[in-house]
Structure 1
Amino acid sequence: MPVIDTATRADWPALKTIWQACFGDESSYIDLFLEDLFDSCIPLVWRQEGQPVAMLYLLPVQLVHTGQAQSWHYLYAAATLPSCQGRGLMGQLLKAARQSSAQAGAAGILLVPGEKSLFQYYARFGYATYGARRQLCLAAAELSGPAAVLSPLPPPQLAACRRQALAGLGLSYMAHSPAGYRHICREAAYLGGGAYRFNGGHCIVHRDGDTALVKELDAADTATAAAALRAVCGLLGTARLLLTLPPPGPLFAGRGQVLPAAMSLPPQGPSAPPAFIDLVLD
């Protein structure tokens, strides 16, 4: 009989099968996620004949504004086996996720749709667009001047750097758990980049072919940011960069495309502070 419940470590092979069928990631990448975050999250599954055929993960995060933190969940890796899609299983899981999150004491759930069409899908279950991000493409050749000196940024220091950088922008932002920050740093290294600090800021970078995906960038000014990005291109051997930046912000001001960032349940009304939901998992 079909049933929704919480996954256990014994379900890992089935969870990896769903993940690979839907997202196409390598087994080692999925292992990284499970090893780092499974024990600290709420892993919900739809079982059919005892085996998971649909899944989602509720990761503990905080929504922070002006130094005040509120417990939320970040919904990640929602997926259904292709052979079981079209039956409404994910809709049932999303309803269960809302109940499980509330029972755990969270104020709400954040998610980041993987593609534009999913904004409409999640809206059917009460989620509303929340926050914005600015996406900017740069060529390494645009970055003149000397390169900054990069050094590894450990997870605890990453949390502190983000707290200082984002508080100054007056935006709400999503803060991760200690396990979450550890995974973010390990994920960046796995994907050919890393978490780096430099004089005047920090950055989180992944590598995608000849493009450096700059997941987060904080710097004192655009010149400092350009020096750091020049160093990133030199370290990763990339010719281009794709930056994720706050919509209102001093770095490369007026450049880039502003896009919706995330969705929230319950919806955050027009009176809610502006939000920048970045540094999400890949």
Structure 2
Amino acid sequence: MFVPHVRIPWQDGIAAIVQPDNLVHRARNAEETWIEEATGKIGEWRSLTRSVYLRWAITINASTLAEQRYREIPGDQALRTNTLRMVEGRPGQVPLTIWPAREAAEHYAAVTPLIAAYGAADLFGALEDVVFDLYEIFLRHNPEPLMRGNDYQVLRRTWRQRSDSDDSAKQWQSAWNARFETWRRKRAYDGLHQVLLALFEHAGLQRPSFYQLTDVADWARTLEMVAELRHLIVHGAATVSDRLAALSNTPTSMTFDFVAGEPLDVKLHHLQSIECFCDQLLTAINMSLMERAVGPLRQAAEAAR
């Protein structure tokens, strides 16, 4: 984690100076326990998405600097890249390629765009973890929807008996983990944008009351757009799909400017857009969770004065 987060009591004077990114709700009753747990995770999720972005951003920076270096050094110098081969019956380092400086620079120039593409795919994976982790927190405190039907009679009994002993608690946790992972694998096929919409509806979450420009459906559409880009990257697509093009070039598509049929050229600004969306989505989720617990934040702030 490149961006660790710390918790600061809101009464601490430094809170007004550092302007915290996240708010953590303290549960006032059992029904709010899941909200406390979820708001307590926002900082970790934000750290995850920022760190994933940073590890790819610094790799892009390194590749760009390497290209510049090999263009500037004497042309008779070279880049030697080793690999493992069996040498006299034992694995040993041997040169796989030796590229003159100018050729090495061209190869770095060709590699850099691929880094942004793989970074976009990795960052979407972090978004998947965030959305499903939030859903899991809600469902773990409200598991009834995943225990309906005759197939889950044993699971329901394990749930009812979870407080009987330490062994009962462990049995419930093990059974729940298995049930949730099965459910998650199936729901992943629905598309992450559909999972987000279902989560908000299921958990009774809404767009923060003071938001004016976007709503949950807009955030889901952005998730669908990033998911389509990830799909194309993972499957080695050479050109932009009709679906990605249709989701791009809109007021809520950030800097996604893809055109159907053109080469799929993922740039740093696309990766930056996804990171920005991660940050904005986590803020929206945080505010939505807070308002789920205490009502509209502006009214709550005015009442506290």
TM over 0.5: no
Task: Output the TM-score relative to the length of structure 1.
Answer: 0.26
TM-score normalised by structure 2 residue count: 0.25
Which structure carries more strand by proportion?
1
Please identify which structure carries the higher helix content.
2
